[in-house]
Structure 1
Amino acid sequence: MSACVERPVVPRLTDPLDVGGVTLPNRLYRAPLLECAGNGPDAVDTLIADLEPAAAAGAGLVCQGATIVRGEGGCAAPRMTRVHDPDFVAEMGRLPDAVHAHGGRIAIQLEHGGLRSMETWHHGHRERNPNLQQLAVSEPPRLLRALDRLGFLDYDAHVLTTDECYELAADFGRSAASAVDAGYDLIHLAGANMGIVHQFASPFYNRRDDEFGDPARFFEVVRTEIRDRAGGVPVMTKVPAETEAPPGVGPTLSATDCVRLCQRLDAAGYDALVPVNGSVFWDMSIVRGAFPGRSWRDERFRAGYVDAFGSLPRAALVAAANWVESLVYSRESAWNADLCRRVRARANVPVLCEGGVRDRSTTERLLGDGPTDAAADAVGMARPFYAEPELPARLLRESDARVVCEDCNNCVVPQAAGGAGVCRTPAVLRRAGELRKAGAYERHRE
């Protein structure tokens, strides 16, 4: 790999950023979130309603949340959007058009859940699709098989052959090509948060003895497929470090392993990297914050929780585990900053930082006081957009701006029951309403 790129100028949040030849108008981005739009007749309108406000308010980059590259299986939550059908993706082109009309750029995140899919954890989905197997990198780890025997999970995994690994990578490439044809500016690979791409990278999941036993190999083949099928579109990816895995669970990806993996992906042609700390499980290491007690008690979602977890007692057990996780994964500001800083010191491409960023001053700190101090070249936020869809207007204009989000996580849990990704906390919504009345979300163009 060539010597690290020099970054002599200290950027501001409002400065542009080049990612693989695409210029972002500033360095604030809306990180991927579950839109829960599905593929029905109103799906594209739902996506536009969710994502256009961020572009209208000035976000340099808007990331559409995880979309599934195959026509069946692979969804980690209900009502995720699938992008295997070129005709449907062409209809989604109205979304990039809406973003571009405001001068913004848009990325689409591509994913397949693998062992994290609803086929594993969603009781009703499993009953309605009894023949649907999970795709697996290797046989499920021993700990997860034990949870299967105890009835908490349900595994009927199909371990991918070498040829099937190549075919899955080709599905990522085909979906990327359709997205580029529809007007998307960048492709965002869901390389973390325990999806199948993460599983290829993780020694906890990957015990293969073929070429795909190399943690970087699937990333490399996907990058080649996108290049061959979608041309020169920039590709970014999340990259996992399993630093938050419970004690005694392993083997795992260390922070050092993540840095090395990022170097490999830089050399493979990825145009931007998003390093993130997490676990080997899909738990609160991803979101952190308070226990979402309001959502667990919300009677509107009770039937959905029963459908998802099989019964009210089982839902209560999941809620109890959720409460324990909220104590373990304490809320920290910018919890990926140190990892991003280590990667940025070794990378030739932009490093994007997200996770726990909640105010303008933190974004400036992440961008750094000097080229060697910075943790990131761009900074993202996710859950705060549920309460403030037009959040960039405040953050880009006000030096002391802070989000109204309280990290209560009441937006997250109902998604397991098929609920939309929205803020449901009255005090937060009231504060956002007050700001809207005061004109805080009006975009001031220079």
Structure 2
Amino acid sequence: MTRLEDPLHIGDVRIPNRLYRAPLLECAGNGPDAVDTLIGDLEPAARAGAGLVCQGATIVRAEGGCAAPNMTSVADPAFVAGLERLTDAIHDHGGKIAIQLEHGGLRSMETWHAAYRREHPDLQQLAVSRPPLPLRLLDRAGFLAYDPHVMSTEEVYELAADFGRSAGYAVDAGYDLVHIAGANMGIVHQFLSPFYNSRNDEFGDGVRFLEVVHDEIRTRAGDVPLMAKVPTETEAPPFVGPRLTHGETVGICRRLADVGYDAVVPVNGSVVWDMSIVRGAFPARAWRDERFRDAYVDAFGGRTRALLVALGNWVESRWYDFDPAWNAGLCRDVRDAVDVPVLAEGGIRERGQIDELLGRDCDMVGMARPFYAEPELPARLLDDEKQVSSDTSVVCENCNNCTVPQATGAPGVCRTPAVLKRAGELRRQHAYERDGRGNET
């Protein structure tokens, strides 16, 4: 029986256990406090025992490509060198750290963030192909703003080289693994998706881009373990297509393992950024919060449009209700098809659920939003002395009040009083201390 406390190898790197902090938006930016912000966000997970900590999506170019405000760019080697303080902090607790590399493409702020568009009128979106018709219609209606630059074959190779360069800088700064953000409608997802990709060159096969990224990273960063998040689009509305099927995603994962990727993270999703990614309740508290009201107006281009976005958010919350471990079936089928570790995330909330998933559906288990409420969550879930109950559960209520304010550049933190109260009670009970197990709050 595989246990959460068992070690795991991804490539040549030994991960001390099978619990990881999945990538989240840290909103740290690149300012003078960026490294301290990242240490404050990520170190608690390692201190509490997480075997692997994944830094959230970082952008491989200096300009453009950010899907949300205050994302961190890792295109400047001088800045990335300063992140050695972060990797040292993780290593001091015996953990490993991965950096997730990203470019937003058509999902970038230059598409949807009204104030950002006004401030950067000449900034175009990088595009795999001409935007698909449904998105062009939203452009005509004024909800999005497309001025896409469809990349030539040579420019696609250069973008892949940017992934390689950033990976090289990261490895020099002490990162243990490189994680390619292949889902959630970023540029890699757009290469993989038939909804977006209508190219007639070699990159019409979207996996080809990930092959070139692999080769660039191997050239510039050596044998650093490389993993990728891989999407399906089965959650898209039935009238939207063409789209990635369950079987096609299993096939993509098989090809990536054959190419030399050391692990995969299969996820169910849609063709656009919607609540299939963060399933749960409608975040009413976040939309009503007066601290963000003006920033929502700036982001979405007016009060009426902000209200329409909130309405769409409400509709999506009814369609994409919370579903425990919603990627488990996809992960299981991928695990049967590949000989590299399969990582599962999405709706995993209890220790007993983790025990059922490991060895059957996946090789490692990750959580994301629960860390906003409990930065030291691993201390409650890891069972070094076999005393953790199978019904031990996170305090997160899947209310999504942490996510909506990030459209304004606000940091990812829990803002739900009942959840924070419960986390405070656990802290007073010393639940986040790991006495005798190497780490202590």
Superposed pair shares fold, TM > 0.5: yes
Q: How does 1:127-142 map to 2 (within 5 A)?
A: 127-142=118-133
Offset, 1:247: 1.5
Instruction: Name 2:38's counterpart in structure 1.
Output: 47
Instruction: Name 1:417's counterpart in structure 2.
Output: 408
Q: Distance in 1 between matches of 2:161 and 2:370?
A: 34
Per-residue CA deviation, residues 392-415 of structure 1 (Å, 9 max, x unaligned), is 000103233100000000000000
Query: Which of the residues 80, 85, 91 maps onto 1:94?
Result: 85
Q: How does 1:267-416 map to 2 (within 5 A)?
A: 267-368=258-359, 374-397=360-383, 398-399=388-389, 400-416=391-407
Instruction: Output the amino acid matched with 1:319.
Output: A
Q: Distance in 1 between matches of 2:230 and 2:264?
A: 7
Q: How does 1:20-39 map to 2 (within 5 A)?
A: 20-39=11-30
Instruction: Output the amino acid matched with 2:149.
Output: H
In structure 2, the gaps of 5 or more residues are none
Per-residue CA deviation, residues 303-352 of structure 1 (Å, 9 max, x unaligned), is 11011001111100000000000000011100000000000001110000
Offset, 1:418: 1.4
Instruction: Output the amino acid matched with 1:395.
Output: L
Secondary structure at the counterpart of residue 393 of structure 1: helix
Instruction: Output the amino acid matched with 1:376.
Output: C
Q: Distance in 1 between matches of 2:86 and 2:229?
A: 23
Secondary structure at the counterpart of residue 415 of structure 1: helix
- Conserved 8 A contact 1:239-1:275: yes
Offset, 1:444: 3.5
Instruction: Output the amino acid matched with 1:72.
Output: E
Per-residue CA deviation, residues 377-427 of structure 1 (Å, 9 max, x unaligned), is 000000000000000000103233100000000000000011110000000
Q: Distance in 2 between matches of 1:151 and 1:248?
A: 22
Q: Distance in 1 between matches of 2:87 and 2:46?
A: 10
- Conserved 8 A contact 1:28-1:379: yes
Instruction: Name 1:264's counterpart in structure 2.
Output: 255
Q: How does 1:82-161 map to 2 (within 5 A)?
A: 82-161=73-152
Instruction: Name 2:431's counterpart in structure 1.
Output: 440
Q: When the two structures are aligned, how many residues end up with a matched partner?
A: 432
Query: Which of the residues 237, 241, 248 maps onto 1:250?
Result: 241
Q: Distance in 2 between matches of 1:444 and 1:68?
A: 38
- Conserved 8 A contact 1:235-1:270: yes
In structure 1, the gaps of 5 or more residues are 1-9, 369-373
Instruction: Output the amino acid matched with 1:362.
Output: Q
Matched, 1:169 2:160: yes
RMSD in angstroms over aligned alpha carbons? 0.6
Q: Distance in 1 between matches of 2:132 and 2:314?
A: 25
Deviant stretches of 4+, over 2 Å: none
Instruction: Name 1:19's counterpart in structure 2.
Output: 10
Per-residue CA deviation, residues 194-231 of structure 1 (Å, 9 max, x unaligned), is 00000000000000000000021001000000000000
Q: Distance in 1 between matches of 2:347 and 2:7?
A: 23
Identical aligned pairs, as a percentage?
72
Secondary structure at the counterpart of residue 82 of structure 1: coil
- Conserved 8 A contact 1:344-1:375: yes
Secondary structure at the counterpart of residue 362 of structure 1: helix
- Conserved 8 A contact 1:244-1:279: yes
Instruction: Output the amino acid matched with 2:317.
Output: S
Secondary structure at the counterpart of residue 81 of structure 1: coil
Q: Distance in 2 between matches of 1:47 and 1:268?
A: 32
- Conserved 8 A contact 1:391-1:403: yes
Instruction: Output the amino acid matched with 1:390.
Output: E
Instruction: Output the amino acid matched with 1:270.
Output: Y
Query: Which of the residues 228, 233, 237 maps onto 1:237?
Result: 228
